[in-house]
Amino acid sequence: MHRTQIYLTDEQRERIARMADDRGVSKAEVIRGILNRSLGIGSDADERVEAVMATAGIMPGAPDWPEWQRRIRGRTADERLHDLGL
């Protein structure tokens, strides 16, 4: 890894700082991520992790997956199969 200095506008600096704070990472990591995406460097796994980090906690009152599934389906798959004699 090499150290590089760049000039940023006030808006760029503020937005990068906000992204770093939101994600709990350094500004340098945010900048590297932006460069990697722009240059097509990185993996799908990196993008998935970033998507999770960017959306984590946006719906704190939402039910977790099993609870949501029970609400939608009503009974569990085991209960439905049992009713069918399977």
Q: What pTM did the predictor assign?
A: 0.51
27 Cβ partners below 8 Å, 6+ apart? 16, 17, 20
Task: Give the percent of the chain with pLDDT over 70.
Answer: 99
pLDDT above 80 (res 85): yes
| Contact (CB, 8 A) for 16 and 27 | yes
At residue 53's C-alpha, the angle toward residues 71 and 49, to 5°, is 100
Residue type present at position 26: S
Domain ranges of the chain: 10-61
Q: Which two tokens stand for residue 67?
A: 């609870």
| Residue bearing the bigger pLDDT, 74 or 12 | 12
